[in-house]
């Protein structure tokens, strides 16, 4: 029997705008080979959990602090991924760094969206508005977003898709952040999710046919 859709978990820590972009793309048919089956948050009470609820997607919250450290945190996540039979993990504003052991276990099954053109303004400490503040203080004329595979190095995995965005003279970090989201992140993340979901499905179906 052919597998019909890759099962996706989206990891969040905040408002969930990229989660919403994925859910909207699923609804509109841009994402056809995958389905969001689980949302995992590292924080309680974030708006991303409401977005999941409105879309009828189950959600779980795992706090590293409450669980007592990285190992227990990752074990809890791992158990949930197994329970929901997850094929692909999408980090969408997830602010917890995953260990080398965890990323190795899900090799080429974890992707992340980063709000710059990697290798610029990336790595440890570069997230959210900090990325756009750094781009503006450096005086770059073009920035953008990158979807990449996740490995043990923060923002160090193989690049999947990138999209450039023009920096304007009167930009503030907030204005630039919004333009990068609208013109790059919300476009290339759903595209990458579809590409990889299709590859996972093809690989699964080929294996089943052996």
C-alpha 49, offset from chain centre = 15
Furthest-apart CA atoms within the chain: distance in Å: 58
Core vs surface per residue 141-170: b (16+ CB within 10 A) or e: eebbbbbbbbbeebbebeebbbbebebeee
Tell me the β-bridge partners of 8: 36, 88
Pairwise CA distance, residues 138 & 120, whole Å: 10
Q: Are 132 and 141 in contact (CB under 8 A)?
A: no
* Residue 153 structure tokens: 């190095």
- Residue 45, Cβ density class (10 Å: 0-12 exposed, 13-18 middle, ≥19 buried): exposed
| Residue 145 backbone dihedrals phi, psi, to 5 degrees | -145, 155
Any catalytic annotation for residue 148? Answer: no
Q: Which of 11, 55, 8, 25 is nearest to 188 (CA)?
A: 25
Known catalytic residues are 114
């Amino acid at each position: 029997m052919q597998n019909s859709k890759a099962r996706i978990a989206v990891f969040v820590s905040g408002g969930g705008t990229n989660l919403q972009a994925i859910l909207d793309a699923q609804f509109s048919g841009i994402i056809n080979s995958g389905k969001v089956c689980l949302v995992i948050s590292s924080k309680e009470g974030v708006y991303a959990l409401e977005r999941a609820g409105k879309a009828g997607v189950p959600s779980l919250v795992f706090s590293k602090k409450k669980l007592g450290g990285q190992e227990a945190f990752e074990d809890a996540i791992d158990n949930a991924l197994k329970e929901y039979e997850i094929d692909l993990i999408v980090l969408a504003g997830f602010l917890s760094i995953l260990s080398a052991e965890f990323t190795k276990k899900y090799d080429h099954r974890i992707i992340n969206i980063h709000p710059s053109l990697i290798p610029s303004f990336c790595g440890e400490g570069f997230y959210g508005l900090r990325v756009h503040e750094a781009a503006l203080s450096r005086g770059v004329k073009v920035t953008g977003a990158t979807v990449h595979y996740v490995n043990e190095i923060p923002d160090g995995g193989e690049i999947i898709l990138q999209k450039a965005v023009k920096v304007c003279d009167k930009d503030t970090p907030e204005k630039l952040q919004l333009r990068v989201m609208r013109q790059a992140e919300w476009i290339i993340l759903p595209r990458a999710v579809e590409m990889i979901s299709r590859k996972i499905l093809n690989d699964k179906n080929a294996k089943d046919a052996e």
